[in-house]
């Protein structure tokens, strides 16, 4: 019998996240980091800066990652998994390169990465891998011995990611005024991305028609809606909608926008809406501003009862899912047989991003994939 707590060949886990400002002075430099070379209009940046200032210049994402780190360390310790967990960000301190340098100094050679992004897309996967390659290049320039880095498979359909969201939708439905509850619709919300990025998301064979990005979100939405029907005995109509659009107005992005959707549902006589932010791992600024501030104001203006359901955050079931994914990938690397866990109709995602997965507009080196220039 293999030891189920065996993470070998891996010797460390890296929680890789977006990062966010920790005070008003951080906001502009943070936004400059995020948008460098991305062609975001100035007006949009000003607007997004205001979202952060409204909350004292502090993004909630860092505190949420600290809580997730605690949850992961506790889960691993409780289950006898001896694997140190580090944290690094793409766009703010603690910066990925600094964390990776520290991991190398601590003697780690085989690093597994958990990104706080569950789905395929350039922004949600390859960009993380490009930043890993940048960090490796920086360490190489410093003459350090490079660790080998792998990334966990997409976990959008792992039960430990879905179960907390199913509970969240049930809680939001229960919290609606009773007379509006039975007829409530569910708006599953995720980050809008350019149509061109959606169409080329995931492996090449999934390209077209919104690509793996839309397919994966639709499967999650359907799975949650079916679980809700099973548990309430009621069929709540649902739709996948989008939020947080940026970029130039003439470039097509995924639609409809959540606020337009609320208007349309209200006009159609729908008595209430639950917004389920399935595209996000925690209640960061996109949830706090775009949903809890903007969409909430829209619903109030319409007189439409609305509740926003919880993201997974540091739910112990999500921490346990990460342990499961780590042990699964470790077994794959040891060439042992695994039974990857997945709900819905798509099955478990690929373990290693293939060549051509979520291509960038301008090709750049990306680590932790079949096209990685690193071992």
| Beta carbon of residue 253, minimum distance to ligand HT9 (angstroms, whole number) | 8
Please identify which residue in the block is written with the tokens 């949903």.
Answer: 291
Task: Tell me how many degrees the CA angle 64-68-73 measures, rounded to the nearest 5.
Answer: 150
Size, binding site for ligand HT9 by CB under 6 A: 26
Sites for ligand HT9 among residues 63-92 (CB under 6 A): none
Q: Which of 94, 247, 271, 348 lies at the binding interface for ligand HT9 (CB under 6 A)? A: 247
| Beta carbon of residue 101, minimum distance to ligand HT9 (angstroms, whole number) | 23
Instruction: List the strands of the sheet with 85-89, edge to edge.
Output: 85-89, 12-17, 110-115, 148-151
Tell me how far apart the alpha carbons of residues 138 and 128 are, in angstroms, rounded to a whole number: 15
Tell me how far apart the alpha carbons of residues 160 and 343 are, in angstroms, rounded to a whole number: 10
Tell me: does residue 200 bind ligand HT9 (CB under 6 A): no
- β-partners of residue 308 are 275
Q: Which of 35, 232, 239, 351 lies at the binding interface for ligand HT9 (CB under 6 A)? A: 35
Q: Which of 57, 88, 124, 277 lies at the binding interface for ligand HT9 (CB under 6 A)? A: 124
DSSP string, 115-183: ES--S-SIIIIIHHHHHHHHHHHHHHHTTPPPPEEEEPPP-TT-HHHHHHHHHHHHHHHHHS-HHHHTT
| Beta carbon of residue 335, minimum distance to ligand HT9 (angstroms, whole number) | 31
Tell me: does residue 189 bind ligand HT9 (CB under 6 A): no
* Residue ranges at the known binding site for Fe(2+): 191, 286
Tell me: does residue 351 bind ligand HT9 (CB under 6 A): no
CB half-sphere exposure, 220, CA atoms < 13 A? 34
Q: How far lies 361's CA from each of 39, 127, 194, 209, 239, in Å?
A: 12, 11, 11, 18, 29
| Beta carbon of residue 287, minimum distance to ligand HT9 (angstroms, whole number) | 8
- Determine the 3-state secondary structure of 32 from DSSP: helix
Tell me how far apart the alpha carbons of residues 27 and 340 are, in angstroms, rounded to a whole number: 40
Q: Which of 10, 18, 238, 318 lies at the binding interface for ligand HT9 (CB under 6 A)? A: 18
Among the candidate windows 104-112, 120-128, 139-147, 216-224, which touches ligand HT9 by CB under 6 A?
120-128
Tell me: does residue 182 bind ligand HT9 (CB under 6 A): no
Tell me: does residue 195 bind ligand HT9 (CB under 6 A): no
Tell me how far apart the alpha carbons of residues 73 and 286 are, in angstroms, rounded to a whole number: 26
Among the candidate windows 68-76, 174-182, 243-251, 317-325, which touches ligand HT9 by CB under 6 A?
243-251
The answer to whether the CB of 335 falls within 8 A of the CB of 138 is no
C-beta closer to ligand HT9: residue 11 or 283: 283
Tell me: does residue 104 bind ligand HT9 (CB under 6 A): no
Among the candidate windows 121-129, 150-158, 263-271, 344-352, which touches ligand HT9 by CB under 6 A?
121-129
Among the candidate windows 1-9, 154-162, 277-285, 332-340, which touches ligand HT9 by CB under 6 A?
277-285
Q: Which of 5, 6, 40, 138 lies at the binding interface for ligand HT9 (CB under 6 A)? A: 40
C-beta closer to ligand HT9: residue 37 or 303: 37
């Amino acid at each position: 019998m293999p030891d189920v707590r065996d993470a070998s060949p891996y010797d460390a886990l890296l929680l890789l996240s977006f990062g966010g400002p920790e005070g008003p002075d951080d906001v502009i430099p943070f936004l400059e980091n995020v948008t460098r070379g991305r062609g975001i209009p100035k007006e949009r940046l000003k607007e997004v800066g205001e979202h952060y200032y409204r909350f004292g210049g502090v993004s909630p994402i860092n505190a949420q990652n600290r809580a997730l780190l605690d949850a992961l360390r506790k889960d691993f310790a409780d289950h006898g998994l001896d694997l140190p967990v580090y944290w690094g960000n793409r766009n703010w301190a603690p910066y990925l390169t600094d964390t990776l340098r520290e991991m190398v100094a601590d003697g780690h050679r085989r690093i597994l990465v958990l990104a706080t992004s569950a789905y395929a897309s350039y922004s949600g996967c390859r960009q993380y891998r490009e930043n890993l390659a940048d960090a490796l290049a920086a360490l190489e320039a410093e003459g350090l011995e490079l660790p080998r880095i792998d990334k966990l498979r997409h976990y959008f359909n792992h039960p430990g990611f879905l179960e907390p969201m199913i509970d969240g939708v049930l809680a939001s439905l229960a919290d609606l005024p009773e007379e509006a509850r039975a007829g409530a619709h569910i708006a599953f919300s995720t980050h809008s991305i350019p149509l061109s990025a959606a169409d080329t998301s995931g492996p090449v064979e999934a390209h077209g028609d919104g690509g793996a990005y839309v397919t994966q979100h639709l499967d999650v939405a359907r799975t949650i809606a079916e679980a809700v029907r099973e548990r309430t005995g009621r069929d709540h109509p649902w739709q996948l909608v989008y939020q947080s659009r940026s970029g130039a107005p003439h470039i097509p992005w995924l639609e409809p926008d959540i606020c337009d959707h609320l208007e349309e549902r209200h006009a159609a006589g729908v008595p209430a809406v639950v917004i389920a932010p399935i595209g996000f791992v925690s209640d960061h600024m996109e949830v706090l501003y775009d949903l809890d501030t903007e969409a909430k104001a829209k619903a109030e203006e319409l007189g439409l009862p609305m509740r926003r359901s919880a993201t997974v955050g540091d739910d112990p079931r999500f921490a346990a899912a990460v342990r499961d994914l780590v042990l699964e990938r470790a077994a794959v690397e040891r060439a042992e047989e695994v039974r990857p866990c997945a709900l819905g109709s798509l099955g478990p995602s690929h373990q290693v991003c293939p060549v051509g997965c979520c291509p960038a507009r301008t090709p750049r080196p990306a680590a932790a994939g079949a096209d990685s220039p690193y071992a």
